Chains A and B, each alone.
Chain A
Amino acid sequence: MRFVQPKSAKEAALLLAKEKGKSFILAGGTDLLVKMKSGVVEPDLIVDIKLVDAMKQIKKTASGFVIGAAVPCAALSENKALVMAWPGVVEAASVIGSKQVQGRCTMVGNLCNASPAADSVPALMTASAKVIILGPKGSRKLAVEDVPTGVGRTNLKKGELITAIELPKKAVRSGDAYLRFIPRSEMDIAVVSCAVNLSLDAKGVITKARVALGAVAITAILVKDAAKAIIGTKLDDAAKAKLAAACSAACKPIDDKRGTVEFRTQVAGVLARRAAETAYTRAGGK
């Protein structure tokens, strides 16, 4: 196995593109090193991206935030402007694994590991986040919801790497929230999770909404019917009931020791209602 530490994203992309063996990107390593230890992956090349300065930064721009692929999740909650604008994204990224894992793990890693239960992914989806991809043919952008295609699978092609996540500027009177169900309250993997991002008009009526679920299908999913159920309402009880029903209807979960199909399906609706209430309050709704 070879280990390289490129100084630029371009150099990293070139190294990945020309590697004939199995190459892996190392950011936090909290998934990669576990897979290496268990023998699930045997890399020929590891490309450590943590010497690329631009990938280690959180930048506030005129159009929102650009979060580098090597920024550890622990750094997100230390950025006050980011917490103010996207509390739901930050709270989702801040519950991944333990404090030890948060010191290393990244949102891009969470996305590319492509676990259906990835905490940050539903929140990024509802925030309309995009990823910036660099590859042999130049750079392209992809919506976060278009990155994972299945368990452990993504739309990234050979030689491509995600250099950053772009979060849009927070809309006026908008708010986001993320909730998950876990059996052990201090730390666990989501059994079901839900993110909601919504915008209000001056009267408190929801004008835009995005709702996403995690751990109830082969990838995290955007649920358009759930968003429709609350748009045009003030999140009254009838709207919340419709929201919950739409979320439950979108679930295609697995049945395992951590949660049955019935449990996950019902809890998806409950979490959606509660996450929507928090997002509504954060947006300034009463």
Chain B
Amino acid sequence: MGVHVHATVNGDNVEFTCPEDEVLLDVLRNRLGLTGAKEGCGTGDCGACSVILDGRLVCSCLVLGAEMNGKKVETIEGMADGGTLHPLQQNFIDHAALQCGICTPGFLIAAQALLRKNPDPSEEEIRFGLAGNLCRCTGYDKIVRAVQAAAKEMRS
């Protein structure tokens, strides 16, 4: 039983076998050792498990591992360039846009997806773009400022 899958995660070819009903989030965390994506709700409400799947932002808790054959996944583990943090990551630190950190990988991935589509978003566009990510610590303002600062840096 189980489905054998070949996929690409952060540019690396991966192979795994998972039960038919196992979600991508569990594949990433438990089979591939990529624990950056977090399980908050498991029902697509909180965005903590956000990844980019074939160029589209998705909740990895709402994708089956069995669907992944031939797919490209980008996770938070692929965001930094070796030891150099991505501008979004550095600005989250500089603007204190995190406290407990559970939501942070999801926010960073969602912000990355947003800035690829819209390199110069307004505050409103950032708030709409990140509405699928919940944070119970920061109150969001610092996250919005961090994304604005990163966007400005990435445009220059």
From the candidates A3, A46, A72, A100, name the one contacting B59 in the complex (CB within 8 A): A100
Given contacts A1-B21, A46-B20, contact A103 B53 (CB under 8 A): yes
Q: Is A55 an interface residue, CB under 8 A from the partner?
A: no
Verify B132–A187 contact, CB threshold 8 A.
yes
Pairwise interchain contact A3-B62, C-beta atoms closer than 8 A: no
Q: A3-B66, A187-B131 are known contacts. Are A100 and B57 too (CB-CB below 8 A)? A: yes
Q: Is the CB of B62 within 8 A of A36?
A: no
Could you give, for residues 1-13 of chain B, a 1 whenever the CB lies within 8 Å of some chain A CB and a 0 otherwise? Answer: 0010000000000
Asked if A168 is at the interface (CB within 8 A of a chain B CB), the reply is no
> With A29-B62, A187-B132 in contact, is A101–B20 under 8 Å at CB?
no
Interface contact A34-B44, CB-CB below 8 Å? yes
- Chain B residues 109-145 with CB under 8 Å of chain A are 110, 113-114, 127-129, 131-133
* Contact yes or no, B56 A74, CB < 8 A: yes
Q: Is the CB of A34 within 8 A of B43?
A: yes
CB distance from B128 to the nearest CB of A (A): 5
Is B88 interfacial (CB 8 A cutoff)?
no
Tell me whether B91 is interfacial, beta carbon within 8 Å. no
CB contacts under 8 Å to A, within B9-33, are 20-21, 23
Q: Is A99 on the interface with B (CB-CB < 8 A)? A: yes
A3 lies within 8 A of B131 (CB): no
Q: Closest Cβ of chain A: how far from B144's Cβ, in Å?
A: 12
Residue of B nearest to A187 (CB): B131
A35 to B117, CA, bound (A): 31
B67→A26 contact, CB < 8 A: yes
> Bound state CA distance, A37 and B58, in angstroms?
17
A100 contact from B3, B69, B110, Cβ within 8 A: B110
Q: Would you give the 0/1 interface string for A122-146, flagging 1 where the beta carbon is closer than 8 Å to chain B? A: 0000000000000000000000000
A166 within 8 A of B: no
Partner of A104, one of B20, B58, B66: B58
A262 nearest CB across to chain B (Å): 28
Interface: B148 (CB within 8 A): no
Q: Tell me whether B129 and A99 are in contact (CB under 8 A).
A: yes
What residues of A have a CB within 8 angstroms of the CB of B129 in the complex?
A: 99
Q: How far is the CB of B135 from chain A (nearest CB, A)?
A: 13
Closest partner residue, chain B, to A33 (CB atom): B62
Judge whether B75 is part of the interface by a CB distance below 8 angstroms. Answer: no
Q: Which of A32-69 contact B (CB under 8 A)?
A: 33-34, 36-38, 46, 48, 50
A5 to B132, CA, bound (A): 29
From B63, B66, B131, A98 is in contact (CB under 8 Å) with B131
Q: Could you say which residues of chain B place their CB within 8 Å of the CB of A103? A: 53, 56-58
Residues of A within 8 Å of B69, CB to CB, are 5
A159 in contact (CB, < 8 A):
no
As a 0/1 sequence over residues 186 to 227 of chain A, the CB contacts with chain B under 8 angstroms (1 = contact) are 110000000000000000000000000000000000000000
Q: Which residues of A contact B43 (CB under 8 A)?
A: 34, 37-38
B23, B57, B66: the one contacting A99 at CB < 8 Å is B57
Find out whether the CB atom of A26 lies under 8 angstroms from the CB atom of B64: yes
Interface string of A1-22 (1 = CB under 8 A from B): 1110100000000000000000
A97 x B132 contact (CB < 8 A)? yes
**In chain A, what residue has the closest Cβ to B124?**
A186
Sampled A-B contacts (18; CB under 8 Å):
A1-B21, A3-B66, A26-B67, A28-B62, A29-B64, A33-B44, A37-B61, A46-B20, A46-B64, A98-B132, A99-B128, A99-B131, A99-B132, A100-B50, A103-B58, A104-B59, A104-B63, A186-B127
Q: Which residues of B contact A (CB under 8 A)?
A: 3, 20-21, 23, 42-44, 47, 50, 53, 56-59, 61-64, 66-67, 69, 110, 113-114, 127-129, 131-133
Closest 3 CB pairs of A and B: A98-B132, A186-B131, A103-B56
Q: A30-B44, A99-B131 are in contact. List 18 more A-B contacts (CB 8 A).
A: A3-B20, A5-B69, A30-B62, A33-B61, A33-B63, A97-B44, A98-B44, A98-B47, A99-B110, A99-B114, A99-B129, A100-B59, A101-B44, A101-B59, A101-B132, A103-B56, A184-B131, A186-B128
